[in-house]
Amino acid sequence: MIDREHERVAENMRYQKAPPGWVYTDANPFTSDGSYGLGWSSFCILDIDDDQFTTGKSGDGPFSARFGQRVEHLETRLIDFLRYENAQGRTVILSFPDDIDIDTYVTQALSQMPKPDTVRPEDPEIIIHSTTLDAWEKISAEGQLKAASELLRQARIIDPSSEVGRYLENEPPEYRDYIMFGAIASTTPEKIVASYQTGRFILDDDAVYEPGVRLYFDNYRMIGDHQIVRDGLHTVKVYKRLSLSPYLLAVIGVNDLDPRREVKMWTPRLFVERADKAFYDKIHVEGKVILWSKR
pLDDT tens figures, 93-135: 999 999 999 999 999 999 999 887 899 999 999 999 999 999 9
The answer to whether residue 184 is domain-embedded is: yes
- Identify whether residues 270 and 195 lie together within a single domain: yes
- Considering the domain architecture, whether residues 49 and 100 belong to the same structural domain is answered as yes
In this structure, the answer to whether residues 59 and 192 fall within a common structural domain is: no
d(CA 197, CA 38): 29
Structural domains counted in the chain:
2
Confidence tier at 266 by pLDDT (50, 70, 90): very high
Same domain, 99 and 224: no
The boundaries of the domain holding residue 28 are: 4-111
**By C-alpha distance, which of 223, 233, 218, 241 is closest to 115?**
223
pLDDT > 70 in the chain, percent: 90
Q: Is residue 24 part of a domain?
A: yes
Residues 99 and 139 in one domain: no
Residue 117 lies in a domain: no
Q: What's the confidence (pLDDT) of residue 132?
A: 96
Proportion of the chain above pLDDT 90, given as a percent: 84
> Are 97 and 165 in the same domain?
no
Looking from the CA of 107 toward its CB, the CA atoms found within 13 Å total 14
47/86 same-domain check:
yes
Residue 116 lies in a domain: no
CA distance 182 to 194: 15
Look at residue 292 and tell me if it is in a domain. Answer: no
Q: Among 63, 85, 111, give the residue marking a domain's end.
A: 111
More confident residue, 165 or 91: 91
Whether 16 and 90 have beta carbons less than 8 Å apart is answered as no
Instruction: Classify residue 259: in a domain, yes or no.
Output: yes
Does 209 lie in the same domain as 93?
no
The DSSP 8-state label assigned to residue 29 in this structure reads: T
* pLDDT at position 160: 84
Checking if the pLDDT of 156 tops 70, the result is: no
Instruction: Report the alpha-carbon distance of residue 182 to residue 128 in Å, rounded.
Output: 5
Distance CA 120, CA 180 (A): 18
Pick from 72, 79, 140: nearest CA to 107: 79
**Predicted confidence band of residue 284 (pLDDT cuts 50, 70, 90):** low
State whether 53 and 155 are in the same domain: no
Question: Does 268 share its domain with 138?
Answer: yes
Question: Does residue 41 lie within any of the structural domains?
Answer: yes
Tell me: do 135 and 216 sit in the same domain.
yes
Nearest Cα to Cα of residue 188 among 66, 78, 54, 41: 54
Examine the domain organization and report whether 217 and 269 are in the same domain.
yes
Q: Are 258 and 211 in contact (CB under 8 A)?
A: no
In a domain, 239, yes or no: yes
